[in-house]
Structure 1
Amino acid sequence: MATEPKTEIWNKTGSGVLTETPLLLTACREGKFGTAFSYSGGCVYQALFTYLTGKPDEGFFSVHPELFYGSWLVCLSAEWENYLRKLPMQAVFRREVMEPLCAESVKPLKPLPEGYILTPFTPAIFEAHPFGQGGNYAGFEDFSERGAGAAVLYNGQVVAAASSFLTFEDQAELDICTDPEHRKRGLADHCTTEIMSQCSRKGLTIHWDAQNRISAELAKGHGFRSLTEYAVYCLRDNG
C-alpha cells in the first residue's frame, strides 16, 4: 500500500501458491477486468498481476513470452510454481491477503496534523486521478455510485488517498497511497477509516492485498485479519 519499502522479499522455501481467489481474478474470469488466455492445460489471466492456473505448458510459454516476462506472476497451482522456480529469477516478493471485510474501522485516531484536511473524493479529485486511482471507472458518477474514495489535502494538493481500485458486484479492491514526503503522519489511517465508513454504508466488502508488512499492520489496526500469504515471481529476461 505504497509505504516504504514498497515490496517485501519472499524468503521462505515453502509453497508460495495463492490458495484464495483474489477479487481481481474473479473479475477477470467474469470478463469485467483484464484479459484471459486459455490453453489446453489451464489459463493465464492478466489482471494487474498475471495469475497462472492449471498446469504449465512449455509450448504456450515459448509462444507467449510477453505474458510472463516483465509481469508479476502469481501461481494458483503447485505445478506452475515448480515450473517457475526452475527458471532464472529476478526477484520473488511476499504479499499478505486480509479477510474481506465490510465494517467500520475499530482504530481510535489522533487528529490530523495542522494543515491537513480529510475529504471524500470530489469530482475534481477523481478527475485528477491521484496516484493513478479511479481509472477503472467510467467517470465520477460511476465511481460515486459503485466505488468509494477518501483523500487528505495539504495546501490544496492530494498527499494521501484511499480508493476502490475496482468494484465487482458488492466487492471492492482497495488501493492506498501516501506521498513519500508526507508519510508517518497518520494520513493513511484517516483515509482508511473514511473509506471503510463509506464502504460500510454502501454495503461494499473491502478486499485488502498487502504488499508489505507496513500495509498489513495498517490493515490489522483497523480490524482486518490476515487470511493467507503468497509469493509473486518476477522472471529474469536474459533475452
Structure 2
Amino acid sequence: MEILQSKPLLLRSCEAGFFGKNHIYKNGSIAEALFTYLSGEPDEELFNQLCAPKCGRHLVCLSQSWQNFIQKNFSDAENYVRYQMKSTDHFIFPDLRKLSSEFEIQKFGKKEFEAKPFSHGTNYKNAEDFAENGAGAVIWHDGKIVSSASSFITFKNEIELDFSTLEDYRRKGLVNHCISKMLRDCEDRALKVHWDAQTEVSRDIAFKFGFTLNQSYKVYIV
C-alpha cells in the first residue's frame, strides 16, 4: 500500500497549529511537519512554491490524486517504504541481555536534554518541558551518550518515539534497553506511544514490544 490511510501524530499536531506549518487551500492542504504531507487535490502552483526550489523533501501522499501528480511529474523521484505501527495499550517487555558494567542506562534527564543526543529533545522548550511532557532513556559509555530513545514531540498526551545508536555501538541490543525503559515510563504515565518505522529493522524492533503493523506506505524524495 503506497498511500497513507490514517493521519499520523505529526500531521495531526500540524493541523492543530502545534508543530510545523499547514498550508490549507480550497481542495486540500500541504503540511510541513518534518515530512511534507499532501492531502486532497493537488495544487501545482503552491506545491512548486513550497517544494520545487528545495531538494530533499520527503513527501507523503494521503490521496490518490497527489500520488498520481508526484508519479507523473517526478517519475524519477527516489522513494522508500515506511511502516506505520498500530499503537498499543499493552506493551510487551522482552527479556533483554544484561548490560555490561561499562554501560550505564539513565532516564532522559536534564543532563541528557542539554546534550541533545541525535537531536533528541529539540522540539521541547527546555528540560522542564521535556520532563513534564516527554519521555526517554539513554545509555552512557565512556562519558558520552551512545544510544538513545526519546519522544520526538508530545501532543495531547501522545508521543512520537524516535531512537538511534552510534554506528560503532549497534547490534549490541543497547537501544532495546533504552526503548524498554522509556516505554515503562510511558506506561506508568499513560502516554500513548506512536511508532513510525523507517526501516524493516525498526519495524521488527517494534514487533518485539507488542506493536503491530497498521500499514506500510511510500515516501517520495523530491
1:105 equivalent among 69, 76, 92: 92
The structure-2 alpha-carbon separation of the partners of 1:64 and 1:98, relative to structure 1 and needing over 3 Å to count, comes to closer
2:80 equivalent among 71, 93, 96: 93
Contact 1:102/1:196 (8 A) holds in 2: no
Shift in Å at residue 168 of structure 1? 0.4
Aligned to 1:57: 43
The structure-2 alpha-carbon separation of the partners of 1:224 and 1:36, relative to structure 1 and needing over 3 Å to count, comes to same
- Partner deviation per Cα, 1:48-92 (whole Å, 9 max, x = no partner): 000000001223233434587431000000000011011233310
Q: Considering only aligned residues, what root-mean-square deviation do their CA atoms show, in Å?
A: 1.5
2:5 equivalent among 16, 19, 22: 19
Q: SS state of the match for residue 31, structure 2?
A: strand
Q: SS state of the match for residue 138, structure 1?
A: coil
1:122 equivalent among 106, 109, 116: 109
Shift in Å at residue 207 of structure 1? 0.2
The structure-2 alpha-carbon separation of the partners of 1:130 and 1:136, relative to structure 1 and needing over 3 Å to count, comes to same
Q: SS state of the match for residue 145, structure 2?
A: strand
Q: TM-score, normalised by structure 1?
A: 0.88
Contact 1:92/1:234 (8 A) holds in 2: yes
**One-letter amino acid of the counterpart of residue 119, structure 1:** Q
Q: SS state of the match for residue 85, structure 1?
A: helix
**One-letter amino acid of the counterpart of residue 62, structure 1:** N
Contact 2:137/2:150 (8 A) holds in 1: yes
Aligned to 1:41: 27
Contact 2:91/2:211 (8 A) holds in 1: no
CA separation in 1, counterparts of 2:151 and 2:49?
A: 35
The structure-2 alpha-carbon separation of the partners of 1:62 and 1:140, relative to structure 1 and needing over 3 Å to count, comes to closer
**One-letter amino acid of the counterpart of residue 214, structure 1:** V
| Count of equivalent residues | 221
Aligned to 2:16: 30
Shift in Å at residue 104 of structure 1? 4.0
- Partner deviation per Cα, 1:161-209 (whole Å, 9 max, x = no partner): 0000000011100010000000011101101110100100111011000
Aligned to 2:174: 187
**One-letter amino acid of the counterpart of residue 75, structure 1:** C
CA separation in 1, counterparts of 2:204 and 2:87?
A: 15
1:84 aligns with 2:70: yes
Segments of 5+ residues of structure 1 without an aligned counterpart are 1-14
Aligned to 1:10: none
Aligned to 1:157: 144
Contact 1:103/1:196 (8 A) holds in 2: no
CA separation in 2, counterparts of 1:62 and 1:130?
A: 34
Q: SS state of the match for residue 86, structure 1?
A: helix
Contact 1:93/1:232 (8 A) holds in 2: yes
Contact 1:160/1:187 (8 A) holds in 2: yes
Shift in Å at residue 141 of structure 1? 0.8
Contact 2:51/2:57 (8 A) holds in 1: no
Contact 1:102/1:204 (8 A) holds in 2: no
1:215 equivalent among 180, 193, 202: 202
- Partner deviation per Cα, 1:8-41 (whole Å, 9 max, x = no partner): xxxxxxx410001100000000000000112222
Segments of 5+ residues of structure 2 without an aligned counterpart are none
Q: Which moved more, 1:100-109 or 1:216-225?
A: 100-109
Aligned residues with identical type, % of pairs? 38
CA separation in 1, counterparts of 2:79 and 2:48?
A: 21
1:227 aligns with 2:208: no
